[in-house]
Amino acid sequence: MRFFHISDLHIGKQLHYYNLAGNQRAVLKQIAARAEEYRPDAILICGDIFDKSSPSGEAYTIFDEFLNDLAAISPRIPVLMIAGNHDSPQRLAYARTFLERNQIYLSVLPPQREEEHLKKVTLRDEWGSVNFYLLPFLKPGYVRHLFAEGQITDYQRAVEAILARDGLDRESLKTAEQSPAGGDSRREAFAAERNVLLSHQFYVNGGKEPERSDSEQRGIQVGGLDSVDVSAVEHFDYVALGHIHGPQQVKDSHIRYCGTPLKYSVSEEHHEKSITLVTLGAKGTAPQIETIPLSPVQEVRRERGLLSEILQRATPENCHDFLSVTITDEKEPYHPMEQLEEKYDFILELRVDNQRTRALSEFSGPREEERTPLQVFAAFYQEMRGQPMSPKEEAWMEKLMNTEEEVAE
């Protein structure tokens, strides 16, 4: 059994106010082309299909084109999807019945009623059944009403309790392995067959967090309050994760974040974006993990150095990249942003790192709430103009602010 594991498409996302629709269309076309080339038995999309809970019409169109490209492959490849924390369950569930008739299976919420269970899709190969369990993003409040009062107190207990309801927790597995024939059929099937979990949560390994990037900070709580230890899911034969943007395993190779198909922040500069290709053999054998590289239309990268050096490094091949620029000139150049824009098309940000800015940074301190009004305005000025204030402008603004304070008194 071979399947693609992808996640965090974030269709509709912008990069520092630049529209990424063309880039996203291109990379989704690549994924569909690789699907036609490799002919996997299934394609898993593990949440955050859209970047916003209210996607634009353009975002819907891009996703519709992607699904149509996949549906055009013959024989048809089943597509299994779950909602992530960025997705609206109600909007994502639109036309779900129609999609399932075309082998596109979707789960947007965990069980909401007593009679409901996790969505399960079973595929078969020469070694028997492979059960795919679809666990969309959940918060404790989504499922608390299904359990006794006080049982669901955090994300860890919520995930464990939802799995236990279907006999998919570790204790149920041990019971099924030890019990004689004639026990709970679901538990026996889980013990005997191969099982894959799709999940979109923040998983940690004994408190050790996965490597994160700037683009996924929204939706992850400070201090790991939303974390779930991998011990809750490590008994599955493969755990296909979404939520973290850098491809990586959590504890073991069969528990994996596949990462995003595109770079969505400068902090992802060195990420190798790819499709994760998983091959499951017979029950009890370790899955084989391969990666299929994806090529972006535009790279996201940093440039650092003297302004003259950065300008000289511009080439026809790299001038269309998304750039975060840091100039190190001690004497700040005249209108550096304008000079850069003559050579490079997509400047994400312009920073200055020299003795003056380092001294200002040390003076201002790391805490946002401790910054002076002048420092706040200086940050705003750089964000809007793409360059820092000159010493003359700083002195003028400081004088103006002092005058305003005197009038207010």
Cα 140 to Cα 82, 148, 153, 222, 224, distances in angstroms: 17, 13, 7, 17, 14
Predicted confidence band of residue 181 (pLDDT cuts 50, 70, 90): low
Find the DSSP H helices in 121-262. Answer: 140-143, 155-165, 170-178, 185-192
pLDDT tens digits along 344-401: 999 999 999 998 888 877 665 545 445 677 777 887 777 667 677 787 888 888 878 7
| Residues 207-242 pLDDT 10s | 899 998 887 765 565 456 799 999 999 999 999 999
Q: Which two tokens stand for residue 121?
A: 């899709």
Dihedral sign computed on CA atoms, order 220, 226, 228, 229: positive
pTM, entire model: 0.85
Q: What percent of the chain has pLDDT over 90?
A: 74
What is d(CA 296, CA 273) in angstroms, rounded to the nearest whole number? 9
Which of 90-99, 177-186, 283-292, 390-399 is the least confident region? 177-186
Burial degree of 249 (CB within 10 A; 0-12, 13-18, 19+): middle
* CA pair distance 106, 103, nearest whole angstrom: 10
Cis peptide leading into residue 75 (ω within 30°)? yes
Task: Give the model's pLDDT for residue 398.
Answer: 80
Q: What is the pLDDT of residue 404?
A: 52
Percent of all residues in the chain with a pLDDT value above 70, rounded to a whole number: 90
CB 377 within 8 A of CB 364: no
Q: For strands 274-279 and 288-293, give the pairing.
A: antiparallel
- Least Cα distance to 227 among 244, 246, 202 occurs for 202
The candidate with the shortest Cα–Cα distance to 215, out of 276, 268, 259, 256, is 268
Q: What is the pLDDT of residues 252-285, one digit of tens each?
A: 999 999 999 999 999 999 999 999 999 999 999 9
Element (H, E) at 147: none
Domains of the chain by start residue, with CATH: 2-293 (3.60.21.10), 300-408 (no CATH)
Mean model confidence pLDDT for the chain: 90
CA atoms of 384 and 376, how far apart (whole Å): 13
